[in-house]
């Protein structure tokens, strides 16, 4: 009899262990890093994308104050997102934040046939801050994007020099490989680049149709006493307009930038104009077609 009870107990323990194992397996089978996660920003709220993951962020087309944070090495596909960050506050700092913040290297894909609007209000539509890592933002795809700010660059750095905690708001590299993109800056800020005393990395535009509208300064580059790296334009249709404080492509008088190469020709060598650059880069509007 004792042997029978021992046998029954062993069978029950095995069944219990199997049930626990099945539950564990069901957890393991849930989406892990690299899996496409679909997130509706209008109904699900702020999208915090972990490092290395791939997310599809959709929207209804209606304005939302919810923001997007992209972890280092993550890829985000935008599909009908419309963010107005005027009333958006950082829960950790209490101040305004960009519509999209990239915490390192980030790829944004514009879904085919979609229109995406990113209004950063007091900050850029898309910011690539360097406090965590000097990263590169890459934008690609065939959809449309409108990125703008009422106090900084549409993509890049804000006009003010510090974030809510007093940290510098420098910006990493910006690469545009595709899409129909309109970027608008405000005051001293360019459409794409840096302003104030902030610094921006290299700006590369090598695909898509890009319209960059600056405030008082360049459409693409740096203004104030800010700085940007090299500017390379090739293989893309680019239209840029600027204000009276500097060239349409390049830096204001008090700012600095690296070399400016357009269609394989150097028009600014980091210190002065070459190959007719003084006229070419100040033409307003500036138009380049490959």
Region 116-122: what's the mean pLDDT? 89
pTM of the model: 0.84
pLDDT at 150: 79
The answer to whether residue 10 scores a pLDDT higher than 60 is: no
Strand order in the sheet with 74-79: 36-40, 54-58, 74-79, 106-110, 136-141, 173-176, 203-205, 231-233, 260-262, 265-268
Region 254-259: what's the mean pLDDT? 89
Region 226-250: what's the mean pLDDT? 93
The answer to whether residue 91 scores a pLDDT higher than 90 is: no
pLDDT at 159: 67
The answer to whether residue 165 scores a pLDDT higher than 60 is: no
Region 197-206: what's the mean pLDDT? 94
* Mean pLDDT over the full length of the chain: 83
Residue 200, Ramachandran bin (φ over 0: left; ψ between -120 and 50: alpha; else beta) = beta
The answer to whether residue 34 scores a pLDDT higher than 60 is: no
What residue has token string 């009870």?
5
Angle at 198 between CA 137 and CA 184, to 5 degrees: 60
The SS3 assignment for 198 reads coil
The answer to whether residue 21 scores a pLDDT higher than 50 is: no
3-state helix, strand, coil in the chain (%, to 5): 15, 40, 50
CA dist 290 and 236 (Å) reads 6
């Amino acid at each position: 009899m004792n042997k029978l009870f021992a046998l029954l107990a062993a069978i029950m323990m095995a069944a219990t262990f199997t049930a626990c194992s099945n539950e564990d397996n069901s957890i393991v089978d849930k989406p892990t890093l690299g899996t496409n996660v679909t997130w509706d920003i209008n109904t699900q709220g702020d999208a915090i994308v972990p490092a290395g993951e791939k997310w599809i962020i959709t929207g209804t087309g209606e304005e939302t104050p919810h923001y997007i944070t992209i972890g280092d090495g993550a890829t985000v596909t935008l599909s009908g997102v419309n963010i107005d960050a005027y009333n958006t506050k950082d829960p950790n700092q209490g101040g305004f934040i960009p519509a999209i913040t990239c915490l390192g290297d980030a790829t944004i894909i514009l879904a085919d046939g979609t229109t995406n609007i990113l209004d950063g209000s007091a900050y850029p539509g898309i910011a690539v801050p360097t406090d965590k890592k000097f990263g590169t933002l890459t934008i690609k795809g065939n959809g449309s994007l409108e990125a703008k700010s009422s106090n900084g660059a549409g993509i890049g750095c804000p006009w003010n020099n510090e974030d809510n905690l007093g940290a510098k708001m420098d910006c990493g590299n910006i690469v545009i490989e595709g899409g129909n993109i309109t970027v608008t800056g405000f005051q001293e800020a360019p459409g794409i680049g840096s302003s104030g005393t902030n610094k921006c990395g290299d700006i590369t535009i090598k695909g898509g149709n890009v319209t960059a509208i600056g405030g008082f300064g360049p459409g693409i580059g740096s203004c104030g006493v800010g700085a940007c790296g090299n500017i390379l334009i090739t293989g893309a249709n680019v239209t840029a307009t600027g204000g009276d404080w500097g060239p349409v492509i390049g830096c204001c008088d008090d700012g600095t930038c690296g070399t400016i190469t357009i269609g394989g020709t150097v028009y600014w060598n980091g210190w002065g104009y070459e190959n007719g650059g003084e006229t070419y880069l100040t033409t307003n509007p500036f138009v380049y077609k490959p």
